[in-house]
Structure formats: C-alpha cells, structure tokens
C-alpha cells in the first residue's frame, strides 16, 4: 500500500468479518459440485483409456494406443496454464463467483461433447484430433476451476477452521473420481468389453450433461466472497480519489509473477509433488494394473475405488488436523510418507494378489490425504486478496501441467524405456523429497488471517475476544491488515460503526 494511506491504529470489532454460516454452507456446496464434476471426468477418462484406444486408433498396437490416450489426458494440462492465467485475472477483476460459474459451464459442455465424438471408423485420424481439441477446451476451463474454488472457499471460511472447510473441496474431488470409476466399472460388468468399445464408453461422458446443469444451478446461487467484495469496494474508493494501489487492483500475469515470484515458485514445487502422487493413484493406476500387472479392465478399475472412497472420507480429518497443529507439519507427513511408502507400495502391487494390491494402493493413498487437501488451504494464504486468484491460477496450473497431469504419461514412458515396473515409486520419491525441503520455507498460515484481508471469525463473541487480545495475540499480524483510507471510506459508505461487528 502507498505510505500516505497507511494508518497505524488498533483493530476494532467492526473490522472483523463474522462469517454467516448459511452463506458459508452455500458457498462450500456450490463450489464442491464443480470440483466433483472436474474429477468425475478425470476418473471416467482415466479408467476408459484401455477401452477408448481401439475406438480412436484401432490400427495401432496396445502400447501406442495407451500412450496416445495418456498423452491426450496430459494435453488437457497444457491448456490449463492458459486458463489459469485468463480466469485468474478475470476472477480478480470481476469476481470469483461469476468466473466459477463460467468455468463450470465450459467444463460440463466439453465433457458432454466427448461422448458425442465419432470414432476412427467414421472420421479416420480426425477423430483422434477432435478428441485432443475437445480435451484442450476442457483443460482451458479447468485451469480456472480449482485455483478459483480454493480461493473462494478460503475467503468465505473463518480463519481458525479454514483447513477443515477447504478440505471438503478435495474430498468432493476424489469422490467425484470414485463416482466416475464406479460408473465405468458397472458399465464394463453389464455390457462387456465389446459393447463398451462399440458404444458404451460414451455413456459416462453424456451423463455429464444433466449433472452439469444441476451443478451450474447450485453454483449460480452462491454469493461473492466477503474478502473480494471488501477489496473491490476499497479499489473503487481509491479510483474515485484518482489514487493507485497495487495491493488493491488486479494486475496482469507478468506483474503478478514479478511481485510474487518467490511464493509462486514455492507453491509450484508443493503442487508438483502433491499432484504427482495424486494423479499416479487416480489416473495412472488403472492403466498400470491392466497393462503391467495382468489385471483385466474391470478389476483394474474396481480395485482402486474402495481405496479412493476411504481416502476421500479421511481428507476432512487431515484438514482439521492442520488447523490444530499447523499446515507445515501435516504437509511434512505427506511428503515423508511418500518417500517411505512408495517402494513398498509398488512391491506389494507386484505380488499380484488382490489383498497385496489393495495394501499397495492404500500406501499410495495415505500421503495423498495429507498432501493435496492441505495445499488447498495453505497456498491461497501465500497471496494478497487482490492478486490471490491470479497467483493461484499461475502457480497451481503450471505445476500441474508440468508435473501432475503428465505424471501418468511420464511414468508409463519411464517403464517402457527401462523395463522396470518400480520406476513409478522412484519418480514419486524424488518429487516428494524435493517438496519436503520446500515445506521448510512455507509460511505457517493455520489460524491466521489471509494477507490483504481483515480477520474472519465465526461469532460476534470471537470478534470481541480477538480485539481484546490483539496486543499479545501471536496469530494476529497487524502490519499485514488493510488499514488504509480506502477501506475506511468503503466501510463508512456502508454505514458500519466501530461498535458492532460486520456480518457478511
């Protein structure tokens, strides 16, 4: 903020945002449906890779078919950074809610369109080209989804329970993945592989149409985040006085990276590690079990479903744990357990029995529950409110594009190049070892207010207690609170008085 705006003064009760829990529940529910939709498609596509290969490349051998579909899956992540940059900038400019409604519409439409695509028998190689193009459109829209969803829910949540509430996004994500996997498994059991290749593979994608309409309805009902509204109002006041403040106004991607490059790079390292192990579990394991371990398509799919469901239900517990002991300790559990468990996990899977395979999958899933859900609350807290969506869009999507979404393709290529079925374990161990070092440099954000925003609590009593204890509260960082004339005038214009809490 500019120096002449800065006012050294004490926190007042009216400064504190008191969370309206009904609004929070609507925001959380409306946001979860989009994440569930996104990962439903990831699950469906990942589990249909061995089925869709003969549809789009019938003349190629099995290995080439799998590499093409894995590459197509990876191509969606090439478009994600562009979507993250565009929708992040737009979300900081016009609002989170509007942009999240837009990304969900595009995402649902693209998933539905995949189910309508003609196969190789109709269009030849152009069928494969259209599949790639459709997935690129989907990747572009998805680029604004997760970074916007985490930003949105973080800004709606009370500071001391942010990890718990935001973790429900990832619970919804992996349940959406499990839903897609379960549907594919049921269709494979009912129709058989021949009918699945002929037409059955289309059904899960076509179902995304009506599911998307329901999800869009819920998302249109949610309200804008109070933190963004406060920043937008302060920006309008500053503009009225012909003043500029880089902490209030959205800037382009070059400016965002210039201002926040250290924290963006830190976030990218952590996202890379967490999503590498996450996508290895979700998107690569069905192909690995089918192609490398001799399971048929049905068992390759079904074995991962119970592991995903149990892991999903545990994610809010790790989110709550991070609120109590801190984000960094829980992230260290995720990184270190990946290094320790990866090799035993793949050795267990190599035994080839169902109990050993389930045990191996559980060892891969364990660190995911401690990794990805905590990133959802830790990373948005790295950036100020006015730049949060943009910075998250850049950090998250570039990392996922380079490391996360390409993990299945990279692992498959490493196995094919070396002939070593344990290469996935070594790859996961390497990325998480680097992340364990990066966590040391991550600022602790548990129970602390978001930078560029006033504290957020869940009751009037908590607001008063916060004000009374401000002189000796180690979690309250007074120098990062937006005490400036723009916020003061924006508050005054809404009739806020110093003697009452602001309820949003």
Which pLDDT score is estimated for 243?
54
The total number of structural domains in the chain stands at 1
Task: Over range 189-193, report the average pLDDT.
Answer: 87
- pLDDT bracket for residue 380 (50, 70, 90): very high
More confident residue, 295 or 349: 349
- pLDDT bracket for residue 350 (50, 70, 90): confident
Task: Over range 402-409, report the average pLDDT.
Answer: 75
Residue 201, domain member (yes or no): yes
CA distance linking residue 374 with residue 322, whole number of Å: 7
Residue 451, domain member (yes or no): no
Domain that holds residue 112: 20-225+255-439
Return the minimum-mean-pLDDT range out of 71-75, 351-355, 387-391, 429-433: 71-75
Residue-wise pLDDT for 210-235, tens only, equals 888 888 888 888 888 887 887 777 66
Please list, in sequence order, all residues whose beta carbon lies within 8 angstroms of the beta carbon of residue 267, skipping any fewer than 6 positions away: 379, 382, 391, 392, 395, 396, 399
Residue 25, domain member (yes or no): yes
Residue 454, domain member (yes or no): no
pLDDT of residue 309 exceeding 80:
yes
Which pLDDT score is estimated for 386?
85
- pLDDT bracket for residue 438 (50, 70, 90): very high
Q: Are 158 and 27 in contact (CB under 8 A)?
A: no
The CATH number that applies at residue 36 is 1.20.1250.20
Residue 51, domain member (yes or no): yes
Pairing between β-strand 456-457 and β-strand 17-18 as defined by DSSP bridges: parallel
Q: Are 248 and 234 in contact (CB under 8 A)?
A: yes
Which pLDDT score is estimated for 240?
62
Residue 114, domain member (yes or no): yes
Residue 311, domain member (yes or no): yes
Confidence (pTM): 0.84
Q: What angle in degrees, to the nearest 10, is found between the helix axes of 21-47 and 162-195?
A: 30
Residue-wise pLDDT for 103-134, tens only, equals 999 988 999 999 999 988 888 889 889 999 99
pLDDT of residue 494 exceeding 60:
no
Residue 486, domain member (yes or no): no
Residue-wise pLDDT for 244-287, tens only, equals 555 545 567 888 888 899 999 999 999 999 988 988 888 778 77
């Amino acid at each position: 903020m500019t120096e002449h705006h800065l006012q050294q003064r004490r926190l007042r009760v009216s400064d504190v945002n008191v969370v309206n829990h009904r609004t929070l529940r609507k925001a959380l529910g409306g946001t979860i449906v989009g994440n569930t939709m996104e990962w439903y498609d990831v699950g469906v596509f990942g589990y249909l890779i061995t089925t869709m290969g003969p549809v789009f490349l019938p003349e190629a051998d099995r290995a080439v078919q799998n590499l093409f579909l894995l590459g197509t899956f990876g191509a969606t992540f090439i478009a994600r950074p562009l979507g993250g940059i565009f929708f992040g900038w737009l979300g900081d400019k016009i609002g989170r809610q509007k942009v999240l409604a837009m990304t969900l519409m595009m995402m649902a439409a693209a998933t539905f369109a995949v189910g309508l695509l003609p196969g190789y028998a109709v269009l030849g190689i152009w069928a494969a080209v259209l599949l790639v193009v459709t997935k690129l459109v989907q990747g572009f829209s998805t680029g604004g989804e997760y970074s916007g969803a985490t930003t949105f829910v973080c800004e709606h949540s009370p500071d001391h329970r942010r990890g718990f509430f935001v973790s429900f996004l990832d619970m919804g994500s992996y349940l959406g993945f499990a839903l897609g996997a379960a549907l594919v498994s049921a269709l494979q059991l009912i129709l058989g592989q021949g009918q699945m290749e002929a037409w059955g593979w289309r059904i899960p994608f076509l179902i995304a149409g009506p599911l998307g309409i329901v999800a869009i309805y819920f998302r249109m009902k949610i309200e804008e985040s109070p933190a963004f509204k406060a920043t937008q109002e302060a920006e309008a006041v500053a503009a009225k006085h012909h003043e500029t403040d880089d902490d209030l106004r959205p800037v382009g991607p070059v400016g965002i990276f210039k201002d926040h490059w250290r924290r963006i790079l830190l976030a990218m390292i952590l996202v890379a590690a967490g999503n590498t192990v996450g996508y290895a579990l979700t998107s690569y394991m069905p192909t690995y079990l089918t192609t490398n371990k001799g399971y048929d398509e049905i068992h390759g799919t079904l074995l991962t479903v119970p592991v995903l469901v149990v892991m999903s239900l545990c994610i809010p517990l790790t989110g709550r744990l991070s609120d109590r002991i801190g984000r960094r300790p829980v992230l260290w559990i995720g990184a270190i357990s990946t290094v320790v468990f990866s090799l035993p996990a793949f050795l267990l899977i190599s035994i080839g029995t169902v109990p050993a395979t389930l045990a191996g999958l559980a060892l891969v899933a364990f660190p995911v529950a401690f990794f990805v859900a905590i990133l959802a609350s830790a990373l948005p807290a790295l950036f100020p409110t006015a730049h949060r969506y943009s910075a998250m869009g850049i950090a998250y999507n570039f990392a996922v594009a380079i490391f996360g979404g390409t993990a299945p393709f990279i692992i498959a290529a490493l196995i094919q190049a070396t002939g070593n079925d344990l290469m996935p374990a070594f790859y996961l161990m390497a990325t998480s070892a680097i992340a364990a070092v990066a966590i040391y440099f991550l600022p602790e954000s548990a129970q602390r207010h978001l930078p560029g925003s006033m504290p957020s609590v869940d009751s009037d009593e908590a607001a008063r207690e916060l004000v009374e204890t401000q002189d000796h509260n180690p979690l309250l960082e007074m120098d990062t609170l937006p005490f400036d004339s723009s916020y003061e005038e924006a508050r005054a214009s809404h009739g806020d008085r110093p003697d009452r809490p602001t309820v949003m």
